[in-house]
Chains A and B, each alone.
Chain A
C-alpha cells in the first residue's frame, strides 16, 4: 500500500536529482519516507536520496519497492504548477501508479524492480578532507572549468588552508581558490582528485545554489557531495569516481 500527497515542487526536485544519472530507478517505500539509490550504467556516478515522510502533505505506506521510468514520471509532475499538489497512489492489483493533479489523472505503468540495475552498496570510504561550501560556488567552479576542459581537479591545499579547483584545457587554464573565510567550513587533509565534467555538470544541475554542500574528498578517490532538499526534509548524496592519473 502506498498513498501520498506531495507538492509538485518537492517531487520534481527529488526526481531531478536522480534523473541526471539514470533513466529508471527503484523507489523504496519505507515507513518514514521514500528512498532512492541508483548508479549510472558505467558505474561511475551514484545517487542516494531520502525524502522523509515529513516532506509530504500526507504519506502512508506499509513498505515495498516499485520501479519507475523517471522521465515519464517527471513529465507528469511537470504538468503541475510548482505549488500544486500531486496525489500518488499505488494500485496493488494492476501494479500501476495512479497519479492525480487537480482532476488530471494519469495511470503510470511500473517497471519490474528486478529488471532495474541492482543498486550498489555505498562504498565505505575514509576521505581525509571535508569542505562545506555553497551550491553557487560549486556552480561557478563547474561552469568556469567547462569553458576550458572536459575534466576538473578538486583539491585541498593543507599549507594554505584552502580548497581549490583546477581545469587545464588545450591552451587555457582555470584556477579557483576558496580560503577558509570563503567556505562554510573546512577540514583540511591531503586531497586531490580529477573528475569528469560530464558527470559533475549533471550533478551540479541538481544542486540548489543556496544549498550547503558538504564535500568529502581524498587523493585519487571518489568525491561525495551531500546536500539537503525540500527544506531540510530530504537529503541527497552524490558519489563520483575519479579519473585516475597514477595507473
Chain B
C-alpha cells in the first residue's frame, strides 16, 4: 500500500477514535479505591491474608541495597490472580488505562524491608517471595500483616502501577510452587552469567515479563551476584539484554528492500515505525503533549530521543529511559521474525489522552503489535504498512501527522538529520 493511502486510511477513523478514547478516559479511580478499601476489610481476617498471589513481585529501589520487597496478592478471590500480573495479554485483552489501574489497585502489595543480597536465601519472607517469582502459576501464600493496608496508588514511567500496601511480618507458602524446568536450570547453575540465563529463558519461550520477575527475585546469574533487582531496573535490564541478543541474530542478515511505515496506537500513545533498507540503526523519538502525564505543565510538546548505530550503545540512554529498550525490543522481534535487518525510527506521540502512566509494557506492546494486527485500527490498514520510495519521503509524509514540525524533528532526531551510509555504498 502506498504511504499516502495508508495515512488516509486511519485519518478517516481518527474522529471516531477520539470520541471513543474520550469516553474511556474517566476519573472513576477514586471511587474504585473506596471499593478496594471495603473489599480489603472483608478479605482480611485479623492481620492475616490467605490466598493466591499473582506470579509477580515488586521490588522497590529506594534505599538500595536495603529495599522494600513485596508479594502482590488480589484483595478479592473472584479473579484469576494471573490476570493481575503485567503481561502482553493485557494488550490482547484491550485493557485501557483505567482497567490497568483498577487491576493494580485490586492487588495488595505486602512488603518488607530486605537486603538485596539473596544468594542463598530461600526461607523467611524473601524466600517465599522468591518462590512465588520463579513459579509459573499463582501460589497460595499466608501473609501476616503488621498494619492495616494503606490505600494508595503509585505510578512510575517504567514499572506497572502498584496499589494498596501493607507491611508484612511473615509470608508462608501454603503449597509447593510449580517451577518450570528451564527456570530450575538457570536457578541451579550459579556459574551462569545473568545475561546468558535471561537470553536462555527468552529462547525457551518465556516472555520478557516472566524473565523480569525471575531476575527481580535474584534467581539468575552467578551465585555471588544474585540480588533482588528493583522492578524498575529489572524491566529495562531484560529488555536491553534480550534486545542485544536479537540484534546479534540479525547482524549479518540481509536488509529489507523497501521503506515501510507501520502504525499503531494504544492508550493515547501513537506509534509510527519507519523501517528503511540498510544496516541496523535505531532511534526512538518521543513527543509528549502538553497536559499529558509526563508533561503536565508544559506549553509545547516535550521532545526526547535516543539513538544507536550498528554496534549498539555503550552507555545507558540519557533520554527516553525504559521506553527506548522496550520499543527496540518490539522492533527487533519483528526483524528477527522476518530474518532481516533495517534502519528503524520509532516516533512515539504521547497525546493528552494518556492521562495516567501504566508502565513501559504499554510501549513494548504498542510497538510489538504494530506489526501484527493491532486492534482499534481500521481494517484496511491494520497489520499492514505504507510503502515510501525513500526514508526521506516516509519521514516527510509522517511528519504531516505529527504535532511537531519537520525542522524540529530534524534537530532532535539523529536519523531524520541523516542516515548512516557505509563505505561500500560509494
Q: Contact residues of A with B, CB < 8 Å?
A: 39-46, 120, 123, 125, 150-151, 168-171, 194, 196, 198, 221-222, 239, 241-247
| Distance in Å: Cβ of B20 to nearest Cβ of chain A | 35
- Known contacts A242-B421, A243-B419, A42 near B392 by CB under 8 Å: no
Taking a contact as CB atoms closer than 8 A, the residue among A39, A151, A239 that contacts B418 in the complex is A151
Q: B417 and A241: CB pair below 8 A?
A: no
Q: A170-B303, A198-B309, A245-B392 are in contact. Are A42 and B411 (CB under 8 A)?
A: no
Contact yes or no, A125 B412, CB < 8 A = no
Evaluate contact between A44 and B426: CB separation under 8 angstroms.
no
Q: Is B8 at the interface (CB under 8 A from chain A)?
A: no
Query: What is the CA–CA distance of A246 and B390 in the complex, to the nearest angstrom?
Result: 9
Residue B279, interface by CB 8 Å? yes
Question: Does the CB pair B418–A43 fall under 8 Å?
Answer: no
B residues 304-325 near A (Cβ < 8 Å) are 307, 309-311
B426 touches A151 (CB 8 A): no
B418 touches A194 (CB 8 A): yes
Chain B residues lying within 8 Å of A170, measured Cβ to Cβ, are: 303, 411-412
Provide a sorted-by-A list of 19 A–B residue pairs whose CB atoms are within 8 angstroms: A40-B311, A41-B310, A42-B309, A42-B311, A42-B422, A43-B279, A44-B309, A44-B310, A44-B423, A123-B426, A150-B307, A151-B418, A168-B410, A239-B423, A241-B421, A241-B422, A241-B423, A247-B276, A247-B392
A196, A222, A247: the one contacting B390 at CB < 8 Å is: A247
Closest-by-CB residue of B relative to A193 is B418
Interface centre among B276, B392, B420 (most CB of A within 10 A): B420
Knowing A150-B414, A170-B411, the reply to whether A243 touches B421 (Cβ < 8 A) is yes
Q: Which residues of B contact A (CB under 8 A)?
A: 276, 279, 303, 307, 309-311, 390-392, 410-412, 414, 417-426
**B interface majority secondary structure:** mixed
Chain A residue at minimal CB-CB distance from B391: A247
The CA of A189 and the CA of B307, in the complex, are separated in Å by: 33
Provide the bound-state CA to CA distance between A10 and B276, in Å: 44
Nearest CB on B from A65, distance (A): 22
Given A41-B310, A170-B412, A198-B309, CB of A244 within 8 Å of CB of B423: no
A39 → chain B closest CB, angstroms: 7
Residue pair B423, A168 in contact (C-beta under 8 Å): no
Residues of chain B within 8 A of A245, CB atoms compared: 392, 417-418
Question: Is B422 within 8 A of A43, CB to CB?
Answer: yes
B423 contacts which of A169, A222, A247 (Cβ < 8 Å)?
Answer: A222
Identify the closest chain B residue to A246 (Cβ): B392
Q: Is the CB of A44 within 8 A of B417?
A: no
Q: Which residues of B contact A194 (CB under 8 A)?
A: 417-418
B420 with A196: CB separation less than 8 A: yes
**A120, B420: Cβ atoms closer than 8 Å:** no
Bound complex: CA A180 to CA B213 (Å): 63
Contact A244 B419 (CB under 8 A): yes
Minimum Cβ distance to chain B for residue A190 (Å): 16
Alpha-carbon gap, A57 to B420, bound state (A): 42
Measured between beta carbons, the chain B residues less than 8 angstroms from A44 are 309-310, 420-423
Query: What is the chain B residue whose CB lies nearest that of A239?
Result: B423
Given A42-B309, A42-B311, A123-B423, 19 more pairs with CB closer than 8 A: A39-B423, A41-B310, A42-B420, A43-B279, A43-B424, A45-B423, A46-B423, A120-B423, A151-B414, A170-B303, A170-B412, A171-B411, A241-B421, A241-B423, A241-B426, A242-B418, A243-B418, A244-B421, A245-B418
Cα–Cα distance between A198 and B314 once the two chains are bound (Å)? 11
| B418–A42 CB distance below 8 A | no
Q: Could you tell me the distance between the alpha carbons of A42 and B341 in the complex, rounded to whole angstroms?
A: 13
Q: Which residues of A contact B390 (CB under 8 A)?
A: 247
Cα A125 to Cα B303 in complex, Å, equals 39
Which B residues lie within 8 Å of A169 (CB)? 411
Q: Which 6 A-B pairs have the closest CB atoms?
A: A243-B418, A42-B310, A43-B422, A194-B418, A241-B421, A245-B418
Residue of A45, A170, A222 with most partner-chain B CB within 10 A: A170
Q: Which of chain A's residues have a CB closer than 8 A to the CB of B307?
A: 150
Name which of A42, A45, A198, A222 has the most chain B CB atoms within 10 A of its CB.
A42
Instruction: Identify the interface centre among B307, B391, B417: most chain A CB within 10 Å of its CB.
Output: B417
| Alpha-carbon gap, A219 to B393, bound state (A) | 20
Bound Cα distance from A132 to B302, whole angstroms: 42
Asked whether B417 lies within 8 Å of A243 as measured between CB atoms, the reply is yes
Instruction: Compute how far the CA of A194 lies from the CA of B415 in the bound complex, rounded to whole angstroms.
Output: 11
Contact residues in A for B391 (Cβ distance below 8 Å)? 247
- For A125, the chain B residues whose CB sits under 8 A away are 426
Nearest chain A residue, comparing its CB with the CB of B426: A123
Which chain B residue shows the least CB distance to A43? B422
In Å, the complex CA distance between A245 and B396 comes to 12
B residues in contact with A41, CB < 8 Å? 310-311
Query: Contact between B419 and A247 (Cβ–Cβ < 8 Å)?
Result: yes
Minimum CB–CB distance from A228 to chain B (whole Å) comes to: 23
Contact yes or no, A151 B412, CB < 8 A: no
Q: Which residue of chain A has its CB nearest to the CB of B310?
A: A42
Cα distance A169–B414 in the bound complex, in angstroms: 10
